[in-house]
Amino acid sequence: MNATNDNRGLGWRAVQLVTVLVYIFMFAPILVVIVLSFNDSQFGGFPMTGFSFRWYAKLMENEAVLSAFQTSIWVAVLTAVICSVLGVAAAIALVRYEFPGKELVNTILIAPALVPETVLGVGLLLLMRWAHQPRTLWLLVLGHIMLALPYVVLVVQARLIGVRRVYEEAAMSLGANRFQTFREVTLPLLMPAIVASLLLVFTISFDNITASMFWRPSGVETMPTQILSMLKVSISPEINALGTLMIVVTVGLPLLGGGLARYLARSGR
Amino acid sequence: MSSADRRRPWLLLAPALVTLVVLMILPIGIMTVFSFYQFETAGVEKEVFTTENWREFFTDGFYHMFLWKTARVAAITAILCALLGYPPAYFIAMTGYKHKWLLLLLLIVPFWISFTIRTFSWIHILGEQGVINVLLMKAGIISEPLRMLYTEGAVIMGMIHFLLPYMILNVYVSIEGIDRNLISAARTLGCTAGQAFYEVVLPLSLPGLMAGLLLCFVLAAGSYVTPEILGSTRDALFGNIIFDTIMGQLNWPLGSTLSLVLLVMLGVIAAIYSRYMGLSRVFKGLGA
């Protein structure tokens, strides 16, 4: 550490300054949205003309927004549950077993994170067209599962590597069968990773817009596509209120979940 | 090993693998077939073999222009992300500040905030009624609002805003992994702080920097929502052309062709990268 800590010359000062500026760059626009959501003015931008909750009240009467919100929640919850089950099983196979073709399997599982979403979006639509299937909400769920799967596999894999195999071996040698071992030992140890993966998938699905623009059934809006279509009409102050609410949901949930995971990890010990 | 033991990993993998084979790999195959179908009229194509779609892509300068522009915009975005992202990553890795975890948490928080909201928040900064214009007009520096929104610059700004955390995390992970004794050794042997940085830290952090550049380039080149929100029609990227071709003109064969072009272009870049660096680095960055 000594070599770096007496490194407080001009260079280090510059690094410090850029760091502060970059953090401001990342958060200032978001803070502006939150501040403007309480603006009393008719228009979505500056100047502030007074403090008011009226755009939130108006939002609660907006049928389109409410139904988009419901759609997004349902899709995200289904996606989170199914995707986590698939991802946890795959991660266990990758960490706990040796088998031929592991490298290839790993690449396939991570691929959706690297293939452009536009291409995945077009591909899934073509599949539906080829199979003569209509676009339903299940298409959104399936698509979101594909998009989020790599992240679940990566997160659970990382956690599983940290869970030493001796615990499982101890349970087995004490007479537990494989299923009991999984339920009594592996699963509780994996709980923090599973909670983390559920929340991660939920946010990925709830946030997704690029691919969802292709997949949503005609006439159905998810939260992000609803915001986009509202933006096309005008920058109304309602959008700021909506944005603020979504920030509360998507930032609040993981923070809550992180606390929960820590609590579970502690009580599991 | 019994045969049941050998089957078990495949049983565990089957649901995930089948999902991805059906939803990702099969569709890319179908896409290839569709790119050789003949377009009749909106939403209708004939299942006969034709190379017309590919000929259209290779001969029409319109598509080359957009492909080139997309590559240029994505490259500018990735390089600016590297320049802006390196110092914070270095700071977080090297600082003795005890609330370092907070700086790291703040890097993750943007991933939780809706991409759509983060993107449109720039309208309030760059727009005619945005922070910059309102402040400059109040200060009397300008009399007419500057046109910053709905330009290529605004699109690049929006993409940097959403890609920067990826870059910082990738670089941070690789700087954090450098053995600090190497830096001390360089200093003891007479390097100045600056020399120690150029000779030791920078070369050893290159893999993280390259992973960040690849990730930023690929994600920027594939995006079409950012230009949709922050750009004018002139600032469309290749992704917007694909979206219009499929969802607007309902020209599935040509849309398939263009999607494959984007896939191959980014695939080649990722392949060149993995030839020299290995993709495992990028996976690490994604998992961070």
pLDDT tens per residue, range B68-116 = 999 999 999 999 999 999 999 999 988 887 788 888 888 888 888 888 9
Of B17, B111, B113, the CB nearest to A108: B17
- pLDDT computed for residue B101 by the predictor: 84
Exposed (0-12), middle (13-18) or buried (19+): which is B166, by Cβ within 10 Å?
A: buried
Q: Using 50, 70 and 90 to split pLDDT, how confident is the model at A1?
A: very low
Q: Which residues of A touch B37 (CB under 8 A)?
A: none
- pLDDT computed for residue A118 by the predictor: 93
C-alpha B59, offset from chain centre: 28
- pLDDT computed for residue B288 by the predictor: 45
Cα atoms in the 13 Å half-sphere on the side-chain side of A261: 19
Q: Using 50, 70 and 90 to split pLDDT, how confident is the model at A180?
A: confident
A87 in any annotated domain: yes
- % of chain A exceeding 70 in pLDDT: 93
* Residue A4: pLDDT over 50: no
Least confident window among A7-11, A127-131, B58-62, B244-248: A7-11
Here the CATH number for the domain that contains residue A221 is 1.10.3720.10
The C-alpha of B59 sits at a distance from chain A's nearest C-alpha, in angstroms, of 22
Q: Which residues of B touch A210 (CB under 8 A)?
A: 222-225, 239
Mean pLDDT (chain A) is: 86
- pLDDT computed for residue B160 by the predictor: 96
Q: pTM higher than 0.90 for the full model? A: no
- pLDDT computed for residue A6 by the predictor: 46
Whether the ipTM is more than 0.90: the answer is: no
pLDDT tens, position by position, A108-123: 998 898 889 999 999 9
Of B10, B20, B112, the CB nearest to A109: B20
**Integer Cα distance of A222 and A205 in angstroms:** 10
CATH of B60-287, one of 3.65.10.10, 3.40.50.300, 3.40.50.2300, 1.10.3720.10: 1.10.3720.10
* Residue A269: pLDDT over 60: no
Q: Give mean pLDDT, residues A180-184.
A: 83
Helices (H) and strands (E) in chain B, counts: 15, 2
Copy the structure tokens of residue B220.
Answer: 């920027």
Helix axis angle for B202-221 and B280-287, nearest 10°, is 80
What is the phi/psi pair of residue B39, to 5°? -80, 125
C-alpha B251, offset from chain centre: 26
What is the phi/psi pair of residue A127, to 5°? -60, -45
pLDDT tens, position by position, B172-203: 988 988 888 888 888 888 888 788 888 888 88
Of B197, B225, B246, the CB nearest to A122: B246
Q: Which residues of B touch A198 (CB under 8 A)?
A: none
The C-alpha of A123 sits at a distance from chain B's nearest C-alpha, in angstroms, of 5
pLDDT tens, position by position, A52-73: 788 888 888 888 999 999 999 9
* Residue A82: pLDDT over 90: yes
- A134 lies in which domain range? 62-268
* Interchain contact A57–B (C-beta under 8 A): no
| Amino acid present at B97 | Y
- pLDDT computed for residue B95 by the predictor: 83
A53 in any annotated domain: no
Q: Best interface-test mutation with B: which of A81, A126, A138, A215 has the largest number of B CBs within 10 A? A: A126
* Among chain A residues, CA nearest to B104: A23
* Interchain contact A180–B (C-beta under 8 A): no
Dihedral of the CA atoms B249, B252, B254, B258 (nearest 10)?
Answer: 100
Q: For chain A, positions 87-146, list CB contacts with chain B under 8 A.
A: 87, 89-90, 92-94, 96-97, 99, 105, 107-120, 122-127, 129-130, 142-143, 145-146
Interface contact B161-A209, CB threshold 8 A: no
- Max Cα separation, chain A? 72
Mean pLDDT (chain B) is: 88
The C-alpha of B46 sits at a distance from chain A's nearest C-alpha, in angstroms, of 13
Q: Structural domain tally of chain A?
A: 1
* Among chain B residues, CA nearest to A84: B16
C-alpha A67, offset from chain centre: 21
- pLDDT computed for residue A38 by the predictor: 87
3-state SS of chain A: helix, strand, coil percent to 5? 80, 0, 20
